[in-house]
């Protein structure tokens, strides 16, 4: 078995969702035995700066694949997620780089390991050190290298709870759930086509407008309407989807599970009250 670290970047579409989907696809590859994903980080573009900001992350994998076999699998995932290579440092749906592969050193036209320039980039070192805090390269502690680089405008993204079907009406369960979540310290993103804010929080018109990592998507829309939202849910790739009473839909739940998204049929209010959320 070998240990490798992969770097991910995205600045087109649902950035966090693109990276999470890539990880799900890599989990299905024969020869990748384990995969652990870091937190997500917001990063200003480098090189070609006239483009949207990036989300970056790093994954640690345990694999029986060779470096070049792993490269082929990464390129296949990029193609699956519609990566088009038009310009260096340009916008991309997804970029996957092999940062490290055991202590192997490779330098050919297809692959260079360790990845060149990764020790100059805080958006690589911060998530990398999150997974392996004591990592060293050529006797250089990467934690000390990161300290010397400074922040470089890299910002850790905090996970949120998205509430689909938010309501300004205090008697609605979605309103009660949002208040309870906020009272428990969760950062809630309400989504509804009406109004400007709910409980003092600005609403989004679509879950696609959420640029933060979605830990939980809690549903307060009718079961019959859920298939209309499925493409958007798959795009943002929440860690889990919570079907509250009245929103249960087995076909939608099965589709989410097929994409590696955890699903739960429960009640947000009850889960909070029983400290199960």
pLDDT band at 46 (very low <50, low <70, confident <90, very high): confident
pLDDT band at 51 (very low <50, low <70, confident <90, very high): confident
User: How crowded is residue 31: how many other Cβ atoms within 10 Å of its Cβ?
Assistant: 15
Read off the pTM: 0.88
Q: Which H helix or E strand runs over 231?
A: helix 226-236
What pLDDT, on the 0 to 100 scale, is given for residue 87? 56
Q: Indicate which residue of 20, 21, 97, 126 is catalytic.
A: 97
What pLDDT, on the 0 to 100 scale, is given for residue 195? 83
Residue 253 appears among annotated catalytic residues: no
Look at the domain 160-273 and name its fold.
Rossmann fold (3.40.50)
Q: Judge whether 159 and 213 are in contact, CB under 8 Å.
A: yes
Q: Specify the domain boundaries for CATH 3.30.70.560 within the chain.
A: 2-156
Enter the tokens of residue 5: 């670290």
Average pLDDT of the chain is 93
**Lowest-confidence range among 79-83, 85-89, 208-212?**
85-89
What pLDDT, on the 0 to 100 scale, is given for residue 35? 97
Q: Percent of the chain beyond pLDDT 70?
A: 95
**25 vs 20: CA distance, rounded Å:** 9
- Residues in contact with 97: Cβ distance below 8 Å, sequence separation at least 6, in sequence order: 6, 7, 9, 74, 115, 118
Averaged pLDDT for residues 135-140: 90
Residue 110 appears among annotated catalytic residues: no
Asked if pLDDT for residue 84 goes beyond 70, the answer is no
Residue 95 appears among annotated catalytic residues: yes
What pLDDT, on the 0 to 100 scale, is given for residue 154? 94
Q: Indicate which residue of 60, 95, 121, 126 is catalytic.
A: 95
Averaged pLDDT for residues 123-129: 96
Distances (CA, A) of 125 to 118, 146, 222, 251: 7, 6, 44, 41
**234 vs 14: CA distance, rounded Å:** 10
What pLDDT, on the 0 to 100 scale, is given for residue 83? 62
φ and ψ at 64, to 5 degrees? -100, 0
Q: Judge whether 237 and 259 are in contact, CB under 8 Å.
A: yes
Asked if pLDDT for residue 88 goes beyond 60, the answer is no
**236 vs 17: CA distance, rounded Å:** 4
Pairing of strands 160-164, 188-191: parallel
Asked if pLDDT for residue 227 goes beyond 60, the answer is yes
Q: Specify the domain boundaries for CATH 3.40.50.720 within the chain.
A: 160-273
**Lowest-confidence range among 143-152, 155-164, 263-272?**
143-152
What pLDDT, on the 0 to 100 scale, is given for residue 157? 96
Q: Which H helix or E strand runs over 10?
A: strand 2-10
Q: Indicate which residue of 20, 21, 60, 92 is catalytic.
A: 92
pLDDT band at 150 (very low <50, low <70, confident <90, very high): confident
Q: What is the CATH number of domain 2-156?
A: 3.30.70.560
Q: Indicate which residue of 60, 83, 121, 126 is catalytic.
A: 83
User: How crowded is residue 36: how many other Cβ atoms within 10 Å of its Cβ?
Assistant: 14
Asked if pLDDT for residue 16 goes beyond 80, the answer is yes
What pLDDT, on the 0 to 100 scale, is given for residue 213? 97
């Amino acid at each position: 078995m070998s240990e490798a670290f992969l770097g991910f970047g995205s600045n087109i579409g649902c950035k966090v969702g693109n990276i999470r989907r890539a990880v799900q696809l890599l989990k299905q590859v024969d020869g990748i035995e384990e995969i652990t994903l870091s937190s997500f980080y917001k990063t200003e573009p480098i090189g070609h700066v006239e483009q949207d900001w990036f989300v970056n992350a790093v994954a640690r994998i345990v694999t029986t694949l060779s470096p070049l076999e792993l490269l082929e699998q990464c390129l296949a995932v990029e193609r699956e997620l519609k990566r088009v290579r038009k310009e260096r440092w340009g916008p991309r749906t997804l970029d996957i780089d092999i940062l490290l592969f055991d202590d192997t050193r490779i330098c050919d036209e297809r692959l260079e390991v360790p990845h060149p320039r990764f020790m100059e980039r805080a958006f690589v070192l911060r998530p990398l050190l999150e997974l392996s805090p004591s990592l060293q390269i050529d006797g250089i502690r990467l934690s000390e290298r990161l300290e010397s680089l400074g922040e470089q405008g890299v910002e850790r993204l905090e996970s949120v709870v998205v509430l689909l079907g938010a309501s300004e009406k205090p008697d609605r369960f979605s309103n009660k759930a949002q208040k309870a979540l906020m009272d428990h310290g969760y950062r809630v993103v309400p989504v509804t086509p009406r109004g400007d804010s709910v409980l003092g929080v600005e609403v989004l018109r679509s879950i696609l407008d959420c640029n933060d990592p979605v830990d939980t998507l809690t549903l307060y829309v009718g079961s019959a309407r859920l298939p209309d939202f499925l493409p958007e849910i798959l795009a943002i790739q929440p860690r889990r989807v919570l079907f509250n009473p009245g929103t249960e839909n087995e076909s939608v739940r099965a589709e989410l599970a097929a994409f590696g998204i955890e699903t739960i049929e429960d009640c947000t209010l009850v889960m909070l009250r029983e400290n199960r959320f």
